[in-house]
Amino acid sequence: MPDDTAEDSPRRSRTSGIDRTLQILDILTERHQPMTAYDLARATGAPPSTVYKLLDELIERNMLSRSADGRAWLGPRLMRYGLAYRARMSAFNEAERAMFSLNERVREMVQICVRDEGMMQVVAMAEGSGTFRVTSDVGTRVPLNWTASGRLLIGHLPDAARVAIFRDCARPSNTGLADTDPEKLAEVSRRDFLDGLSVQIDTSEDQVACIAAPVRGQDGACELTLSVVMPKHRVDAKFDTVAQEVRDAARSVERALGVHQR
């Protein structure tokens, strides 16, 4: 019989190298700071020699950069890829216009959020007026169960799929107030998606409210959300206005995409 070991080995090695590279990029993205090769080796569980070699290759290709103290960070080539990808996302382009318009009307922070596997990620943001600030910024990723947007982003999925996702990804939040029950989360996720609005207060950050609406694609799936983030103490006075405005903004994006209105 022919020996396939030698033939298969390069493929396994190449795949392993790709996986290690993605691990490094994911870890740097999640931690939002440059890291040493040693720390990356510990975080990935890879041999230090493998990580050192990968870093050198990625830095040489501008996928990563090296700071003055020798730490690795994301490189300019990744920005080019990200901008090219975002430019082709018609839903994002329309949502970005709606985000700035909504920001002017409600005078509160507005974010565009998408799903990244079991996480919700902020991909664009318009600051509100005044001094109110939150820890989440563009690039921030948190578990789906922490935010109103996170629940909406899987609200279109079948019941079993939503339960399975929350079972895998639901985590206690820093405030201790985020629900982690998969069955309950799945039920609320579907209800909020059908209602076109989701609200969470204090679950991700203390004294912070999130009022979000889903933006659906042609297939009915939630492609992204528009979310108004505001201080908890302003919710009572502004809730009705903000809820209507964020719903209207999401529908304006859907109209621009030619989606049948709900």
Chain segment 102-134, per-residue pLDDT in tens: 999 999 999 999 999 899 999 999 998 766 667
User: Sorting pLDDT into bands at 50, 70 and 90, what band is 6?
Assistant: very low
17-37 mean pLDDT: 90
- CATH 3.30.450.40 residue spans of the chain: 89-256
Chain segment 31-89, per-residue pLDDT in tens: 889 999 999 999 988 899 989 999 999 999 999 999 889 999 999 999 888 877 766 66
Query: What is the fold, at CATH topology level, of the domain defined by 5-80?
Result: Arc Repressor Mutant, subunit A (1.10.10)
Q: What are phi and psi of 115, to 5 degrees?
A: -90, 135
Which is higher by pLDDT, 249 or 205?
249
Q: Is the pLDDT of residue 5 over 50?
A: no
155-159 mean pLDDT: 97
The least confident of 7-16, 152-161, 198-207 is 7-16
How far apart (Å, rounded) are the C-alpha atoms in residues 234 and 243? Answer: 13
Q: Which residues pair with 198 in a beta bridge?
A: 212
- For residue 108, the tally of other CB atoms under 10 A from its CB is 24
Sign of the alpha-carbon torsion through 174, 177, 178, 181: positive
**CB 185, CB 179: distance < 8 Å:** yes
Which is higher by pLDDT, 187 or 87?
187
Three-class SS of residue 63? coil
**CB 106, CB 218: distance < 8 Å:** no
Sign of the alpha-carbon torsion through 148, 151, 154, 155: negative
| Domain 89-256 -> CATH class | alpha beta
pLDDT at residue 2 in the model: 43
Highest mean pLDDT out of 4-13, 80-89, 97-106: 97-106
pLDDT at residue 259 in the model: 84
253-260 mean pLDDT: 87
How far apart (Å, rounded) are the C-alpha atoms in residues 57 and 75? Answer: 12
- CATH 1.10.10.10 residue spans of the chain: 5-80
